[in-house]
A and B are shown apart, each in its own frame.
Chain A
Amino acid sequence: MSVLDRPYEDVWSPRRARIVAVVLALVFVVIVGRSAWVVFNSPARDDSGGAVAEVAVRRADIVDRDGQLLVTTLQGWSLAADPSAIWDVREVVDALVTVFPAINTKQVTDLLSDKKRRFVWIRRGVSERERKAVKDLGVEALRFVEEPQRVYPNGSLAGHLLGYTNVDGDGLEGIEKIFDERLKQGGEPLRLTIDASVQFVLEEELQGALAQFDMKGATGMVIDASTGAVRAIASWPSSDPRKRGDEPAAAKTNRALNVRMELGSIYKPLTVAAALEAGALKTTDRFNVSAPVKIGSATVRDPHPLPNASSVTASDIIIHSSNIGSSLIAQRIGPEKLKAFLGNVGLLGGMTIKGPQTASPLTPAEWNQTSMATVAFGHGISVSPLAFAMTYTPFATGGEMVTPVFLEPIDPATIQHKRVMSKQTADTVLAMLRRTVVEGSGKLAEAPGYEVAGKTGTAEKPTPDGYDPNRNITSFGAVFPASRPQFVVLVVLDEAQPRTGVVRTASVTAATIAGKVIARAAPLLDVHPVPFAPIVEAASLRTTEGTP
């Protein structure tokens, strides 16, 4: 029976069913295929254009030893423009001048006139007020771009030490430059050894010195003698990191680190220590300093005669700051031993610091009798104030010197202790320094209760024509408290001239400021005062030396 003979339903129903089945099967294959494609092959999400952009690593904060914020990074705004969308460049520039009076109009005009460009920076880092003012101008071609900006909440506090970055966040000076790589990695804040409160006290006292003295510059530092931790370090005129170096040269100069100075008589304790250490001096030895002495080609004089000048001890030489006596003591050990001692305490270079570097010293070309005689009282050798301050740490630690440290936390195992003198020598010189403050040239440095031990230094400034008697560097190096030494303080004033009076030696300039710094900083450093500080060391010296 042919197909034509079979009933219609018998012929077409199976065929129709097959066709429908095939079509449906195809449809489901497509659906399943599409489902599989959606699940396995859908394009990866591109977050860069979404709500959450890839967050760039945020430059790490800088904090003080207690976590007080010194530097941070905030999102700020910068002004940009699309030159191709500007019809009247002059009109836009005139409008911008109303918001940014100091803007370089020629430079901006040139930028906006370049119609080939679609993006130019007008100003990086604008304030919220400036942003609003620019928006009020209603210029469509101007737009703001959000970008990170370095912020210094404390203004110029520790400005020289902190340094600054450029607009792109690259460290250019100070800690920002030295630890640039670490800061760029983001993460935990960089914790400095600086104590913001002590830093403020130091800077305020240096600034306040202006009320008493006309001066060209100043520097000071407070150092933990047991660890080398720099608790405060300042240079005046201060530097404001927010200005990114756009300051006068005097403000840009970091006198604590980058300037080398002849510091004068604060070297004398080192000379005495060198002689004691060499066994060439006893505290009972006596010297005649009543007349100038000629050593090598140098004639050494004392600006003021000492009491009982024909018979003075090393202690008297320190207390009353005798140049003659200091040179005579140096003569006992000779130039080579003095050079070796000063080299050992880092004054001839080679001090390694994990942090800001200091200016290299300027030392005598030849160590002979003449240079020895002058170096003995701090002339003919120039070092950075920080390098010098570290030489007083042995007097506080019983003879061990430390190197400056700028970063917390301090691992006790990594502190570099270097014995440079015996404990007996250190204690003996410390006693002399205490007496200098109690009864000698450092009286104005006394901070009641904090037993300041220290030495004044007054050095005429060297010029191409010799030393200028009218321009001084005055300094005061101190250790406190003398009965349990913890901190070293150094204050240096450049050309300090009292506004009243004519005396401009360190005894009335640097000593005064050092005393004020210690009196205010000591409580902040948890140094408890001695209500009625006994002069135990000085008394013992009197007994051993038989001096009045």
Chain B
Amino acid sequence: MNRLVMIGGLVVVAGLAVAVYRAKLGAEETQGRIDGLKAEAVKVEKDIAVMRAEEAYLTRPERIGPIARDRLGLEPASPDQYTASEALKQRLGEERLTLPAPDAEVPAETPATPAGPAHQ
């Protein structure tokens, strides 16, 4: 009986020892993965910083202005491109702003949709 208890105890102790070793190894592996992820995070942060700097470099006004002008034909809005909302009728013409009611039948001779700005 004593022998069985002792052997059983030894087996339990041995099992615990193995478990401790495995836990230790597992912890080290986990720590390694954490270190790897941290290193990756640092690298990604560096990459983001580089990309943000590149974005700022590429979108600097000195570069974007000429590109917008030369390739897209964009210019800063000039004052004559602004108008007060109450002056729209005068500017676009009364008939252009006569919009049909949403459910009303549109007469054939009436434009179905408002036209763009008149530039006569």
Contacts and interface: CB of A to CB of B under 8 A. Distances in A.
Identify the interface centre among A31, A38, A204: most chain B CB within 10 Å of its CB: A31
Interface residues of B, number: 37
A32 B62 contact: no
Contact of A35 (B17, B49, B80, B87): B17
B91 to A, nearest CB: 9
B20 interface: yes
Contacts of B89: none
Contact of B61 (A47, A52, A55, A197): A197
Contacts of A70: 56
Given A24-B10, A47-B35, A153 B60 contact: yes
Given A73-B49, A153-B60, A529 B82 contact: yes
B17 A52 contact: no
B38 interface: yes
Contacts, number: 95
B6 A21 contact: yes
Contact of B62 (A68, A73, A155): A155
Given A69-B52, A531-B83, 16 more contacts: A28-B13, A32-B17, A39-B20, A42-B24, A51-B36, A52-B42, A68-B56, A68-B59, A72-B49, A74-B49, A74-B50, A74-B53, A153-B53, A155-B62, A157-B61, A448-B79
Nearest to A75: B46
Interface in A414-453: 448-450
Interface of A: 21, 24, 28, 31-32, 34-35, 38-39, 42, 45, 47, 50-52, 55, 68-70, 72-75, 151, 153-155, 157, 196-197, 200-201, 204, 448-450, 520, 523-524, 528-531
A295 to B, nearest CB: 44
A51 B38 CA distance: 9
Contacts of A197: 61
Which 8 A-B pairs have CB atoms at the shortest separation, nearest pair first? A449-B79, A529-B79, A200-B61, A153-B56, A69-B56, A153-B57, A52-B38, A35-B20
Interface string B6-37: 10001001101100110010000001000110
B55 interface: yes
Contacts of B57: 153-154
Contacts of B49: 72-74
Nearest to B65: A200
Interface in B44-72: 46, 49-50, 52-57, 59-62, 65
